[in-house]
Structure 1
Amino acid sequence: MRQLNKFTFNICPTVSIHNQINLLSNEDIKYTFNDFQKNKQIISCVDNFSEIERDECHIYFCPYESKEYHKITNNFPGGIFIHVHEIALFDEQPFEHKSFFQISQSFRFMKKLTLINDKRSRKLHDNNEHLSIIKYPHLSQLDLSEAQDDYIEQFLVDTKTCLPNSFYLCCRLSSTEKSDTTLCKKYNMNKLFKSAFVMFNCIFQGLSLFDRRFNQLRVLHVNSSWIRYSSRLTINNTENLPNLKCFSLYCDTDTVVYDELIVPLLHRMLDLEKLHLYLIIGYKNTFIDGNNLKRNIINHMPPLNIFTFNIRTTVHLHNLN
């Protein structure tokens, strides 16, 4: 390519640890670009992932023009990325406050942040009075669905983290039933976001989690592993959800508390306009049919204009009249 006068790239090769022969270090890779497009900055970042048994090398040309930057690790070299709106963090080591601060400074115009990390943050509960405030002024989507619960607390509770008043949250609460109460009390849902996608990989106490902290929510999508009753959680849960316009509930395991938990929860959504249900219901003596849905759901939601559902009812033969 003798006529080539401009060459930009963003390459991330992966090498299995078992296939390594002479793997270059980060400095070795940088040296190979010494005579490559002089006066241009080329960045190299080598990461070793021992748990998944592979090494990765990310090389790219500056200025970085892509709108996305994925697989940011604790080894991130820094820089200013004015064009990047979407980033994803991944590492086998926990991310601490220092890393988040550096990332917030490098990607000041980020709109979506995804965090993939199952390691507890070591310094999360340390005294943080001396730490700088991390600001995400343009953030509109925060995906913590593959992050350890500590990071949910770090983003939603930590006084050293400043988030917009309205954004889309996707998270997974994998804590025990007992600590769900603590989690719900800590997170000031009312102040932090107006739309959310929440996955509960724990026992989902259907009514208890929807207290006044959810009053400002307009859109809520819930994916639950189980829906069943528990007497442990005593959060006040009788108030209506006046601002909720769109709600979906997905659970692919049997529940026998349709009348006790699900229907009362839906009755609190008086102004709902869009509803989707995916449920497997163990019912007492009859199938869920159109009359049941009209009587228990549709008649209680005058503004409802979209209602989609996928409901399977199972009835024990001994309970049939």
Structure 2
Amino acid sequence: MLRLRTFKFCISIKIRRNNLVHYLSENDIQRSFINMKQHQQVDCIINYRYGIATCHVFSLPFVFDYLKYVGNTFPSIVFNHVIRLTVCDEVSFEHEFFHRIAWSFPFLKYLWVINYQPQLSKLEKLNSNYKPSYSIVKYPYLISLRLDTAYIHYIDQFLNETKTHLPSLTILRVCYESFTIVTRNFRKSITRLNCSKVKKLIFSPVLIDSPITKAKRSKKFNIYFPLLESCVCSLYE
């Protein structure tokens, strides 16, 4: 019987941190696959977030289209097949992190951001004369973006056209109150371009008596979303 030479896999494990005797490192994981590495490349991603440790061990090249719970630390490789990604960490995501995401996941179509920590660059700007210089992050294929589980800074990070370019965005899920603050009640021009092609908008959560739940939307709202076909107002998280 012929021996198996190639095995394409992605093994994901989640465990509560308080159940770990010690924190796993990338070297710990790599050593457990030392025999397999004689025939093919293996890599891993370890993320510690909100009391949970997540470990992805996978063969290279990565052939799957979905990857969940990637944090600030991940290998500098290109995931050409991944179109769905969830990023999550208890440490803030800075602008450079999203550059790395764009480089490592060049064909990304669906992105979900989970991070409740403010960006350090935003705090530094508030506390000093610090004026960061950004190069624009480009996601040419991104069609769906979920930000309702992210701190308000990440709404500006993605919708501010001087920071991020989203030419294909058609589905946006975001916290209503945070969105109105960032866009100054749909008056801020610098966050309008990345919203201009959105066809489905999901606000979560939103108050029943808020203006957006009423049949007639404001003129400024319609200018922000000229192609909007569906607006869903979720009353609960």
Both proteins in one fold, TM over 0.5: yes
RCO comparison, higher one (Cα < 8 Å, 6+): 2
> Structure 2: any 5+ residue segments left out of the alignment?
none
> Structure 1: any 5+ residue segments left out of the alignment?
226-250, 252-321
* Equivalent pair of 1:189/1:214 in contact (CA under 8 Å): no
CA deviations over 1:234-262 (Å, ceiling 9, x no partner): xxxxxxxxxxxxxxxxx9xxxxxxxxxxx
2:222 to 202, 205, 214: 214
CA distance in 1, matches of 2:179, 2:45: 38
Q: Which moved more, 1:215-224 or 1:78-87?
A: 215-224
- State the 1:148 CA deviation: 1.9
1:71 to 64, 69, 76: 69
* Equivalent pair of 2:85/2:110 in contact (CA under 8 Å): yes
Amino acid at match of 2:187: K
- State the 1:79 CA deviation: 0.9
- Within 5 Å, give how 1:217-296 maps onto structure 2: 217-223=227-233, 225=235
1:55 to 53, 56, 62: 53
Aligned to 1:113: 111
Amino acid at match of 1:182: R
- Is the radius of gyration larger for structure 1 or structure 2? 1
CA distance in 2, matches of 1:76, 1:209: 43
Q: CA RMSD in A?
A: 2.8
SS of residue paired to 2:233: strand
CA distance in 2, matches of 1:33, 1:145: 38
CA distance in 1, matches of 2:165, 2:173: 18
SS of residue paired to 1:27: helix
Please state which structure has a larger fraction of its residues in strand: 1
Aligned to 2:153: 150
Q: TM-score, normalised by structure 2?
A: 0.80
- State the 1:46 CA deviation: 2.1
SS of residue paired to 2:38: coil
**Seq. identity, %:** 28
SS of residue paired to 2:140: coil
Q: TM-score, normalised by structure 1?
A: 0.61
Amino acid at match of 2:104: S
Aligned to 1:160: 163
CA distance in 2, matches of 1:37, 1:209: 59
- State the 1:190 CA deviation: 8.3
Aligned to 1:188: 192
Aligned to 1:199: 203
Aligned to 1:31: 31
CA deviations over 1:73-93 (Å, ceiling 9, x no partner): 101223111111111111111
Aligned to 2:141: 138
SS of residue paired to 1:153: helix
* Equivalent pair of 2:137/2:163 in contact (CA under 8 Å): yes
Please state which structure has a larger fraction of its residues in helix: 2
